[in-house]
Amino acid sequence: MTAQSVAGPIEIGSRAPDFELRDQNNQVVRLSDLRDRDVLIVFFPLAFTGTCEGELGFLRDNLPRFDNDYVTVVAVSVGPPPTHKVWSSAQGFLFPILADFWPHGAVADAYGVFDVERGFPNRGTFVVGRDGTVKFSAMVGPGEQRGDETWDAALAVVGH
């Protein structure tokens, strides 16, 4: 049994764990520095995989829905920044893709979505409000894809 299957994703109303991770350009991104808008945090298992590429491609293709005056988006996985740089450049991902590389999966674990048996996060989706509390929380396994209902439900709480 994995640690995440016992705890599950952190609950709505909880204080969101702050983090400091490097993006695909090796720039430090802190959750606490993004408080001017709600933050959509999208955990994904691994770069260069079909489902992950499709989901992040959906964000890219609909970026004005996910990055505007009310919300900004960050994606998080366990790969290192150089891997994320190559992948994001090839795919045209302009939003931050954060490396939860070391300590390996620590941020995903703090959010309750790290799969310790596989060594990567499940597909966790969170909205963190300007006050630092979780406004939306959902998770599906690595073989499942987030549907439109997940994106719509996450965006429904933005700005409220």
- CA distances (Å), 85 to each of 27, 51, 90, 153, in order? 11, 18, 8, 29
- State residue 7's pLDDT score: 61
Domains of the chain: 3-137+150-156 (3.40.30.10)
Residues forming a β-bridge with 75: 42, 97
Query: Rounded to two decimals, what is the model's pTM?
Result: 0.93
* Residues carrying an active site annotation: 52
Q: Are 39 and 127 in contact (CB under 8 A)?
A: yes
- Sheet with 20-22: list strands edge to edge: 28-30, 20-22, 97-99, 71-77, 38-43, 123-128, 134-140
The pLDDT-based confidence of 19 (bands split at 50, 70, 90) is very high
Residue with more model confidence, 92 or 3: 92
Tens digits of residue pLDDT in 48-90 = 877 788 899 999 999 999 999 999 999 999 999 999 999 999 9
